[in-house]
Amino acid sequence: MSETEQKLPVTILVPSNFHDHAVDRIERTFSPVRIERADPALVTDEVRSKVRGIASFAGISAAFMDALPNLEIIASFGVGYDSIDARHAAEHGIMVTNTPDVLTEEVADTALGLLINTIRDLPRAETWLRDGSWERNGDYPLSRLTLRGRKAGIFGMGRIGLAIARRLEAFGLPVAYHNRRRVEGLSYEHHETLKGLAEAVDTLISVAPGGASTAKAVNAEILSALGPNGVFINIGRGSTVDEEALAAALANGTIAAAGLDVFANEPNVPPALLAASNATLLPHVGSASEHTRRAMADLCVDNLVSWFTARKPLTPVPETVQVKARA
């Protein structure tokens, strides 16, 4: 709590597990209530009458919002908020905030690390050393792939996409992108369709948000367009990929390799992807440093503090930007 923060007579609901630093600040600044998960069946009469805000990692459904008639704000921990029914929130005068910017550079760093690991096969090279194969069998086999001569395409040119693009330029790679709309003032080559982007590049990095409009957008057609030298990296949302088609593309040589930090049904990873020797897989660690997660925790709680003191959010999501605080 900063020197200007004082204990506020506001009850904040924290469903499921949450970041310890955020919980500590909520306990010092508000009156917290914890429940096992965001399930309307777990909402007691006391919770129903008192709760005015939610701080959550997890998804918040329309039904859960409706179970809390005095709910004013949902402070989501993370930049992605597709698991929150933001449209329903807007329709019912409920503010939704997320934590952009503070995780941009960390996720972009992870994307480049994942790309290099995928192309140069570095995790397996380290295993070769650690298990004694270097000593017994000699040098690790030459990597079939290289970053040299590649052209990168970014699916989703938002804050994180731009940070990745800057890093790719520093590596000497030309960059193109596909967005729902062209980004004004951006000199990178823009493609009106995802297929057009995939056809033009051999390295496709997805930073696209989840939701119905992007569900399984990276499918068999897109992977085929990427081609047999193609590398696919996903640092955005697992729901944007047809995982069955991706596993097949890796197995039959439709693309050369993939690096994935996100999956459609986390923490459950399809066995076919686990079995793919040309896939590098991470357990959703894009923003997972102590430094960045603490910054995300602070922004999450700062949104709550700002809402219940200044009566305005710091980082509202687009769907609820017009929501006003209740009198």
Per annotation, catalytic residue among 28, 37, 266, 311 = 266
**Which 8-state DSSP code applies to residue 271?**
H
* Cβ neighbours for 263, distance < 8 A, ≥ 6 positions apart: 238, 243, 269, 270, 273, 284
Per annotation, catalytic residue among 167, 237, 243, 293 = 237
Active site residue 266: yes
By CB atoms closer than 10 A (0-12, 13-18, 19+), residue 3 is exposed
Q: State the Cα–Cα distance between residues 254 and 234, nearest whole angstrom.
A: 17
Query: 266, 276, 267, 268: which is closest to 245 by C-alpha?
Result: 276
Q: State the Cα–Cα distance between residues 180 and 188, nearest whole angstrom.
A: 15
Strands (E), 5-151: 11-15, 31-35, 51-56, 73-76, 95-97
By CB atoms closer than 10 A (0-12, 13-18, 19+), residue 307 is buried
Strands (E), the chain: 11-15, 31-35, 51-56, 73-76, 95-97, 152-155, 175-178, 189-190, 203-206, 231-234, 257-260, 279-281
Query: 277, 115, 298: which is closest to 207 by C-alpha?
Result: 115
Active site residue 244: no
**How many DSSP H helices and E strands does the chain contain?**
13, 12
Amino acid at 10: V
Per annotation, catalytic residue among 48, 120, 190, 284 = 284
Active site residue 237: yes
Q: Could you tell me the two tokens for 277?
A: 């020797």
Q: State the Cα–Cα distance between residues 273 and 245, nearest whole angstrom.
A: 10
- Report the catalytic residues: 237, 266, 284
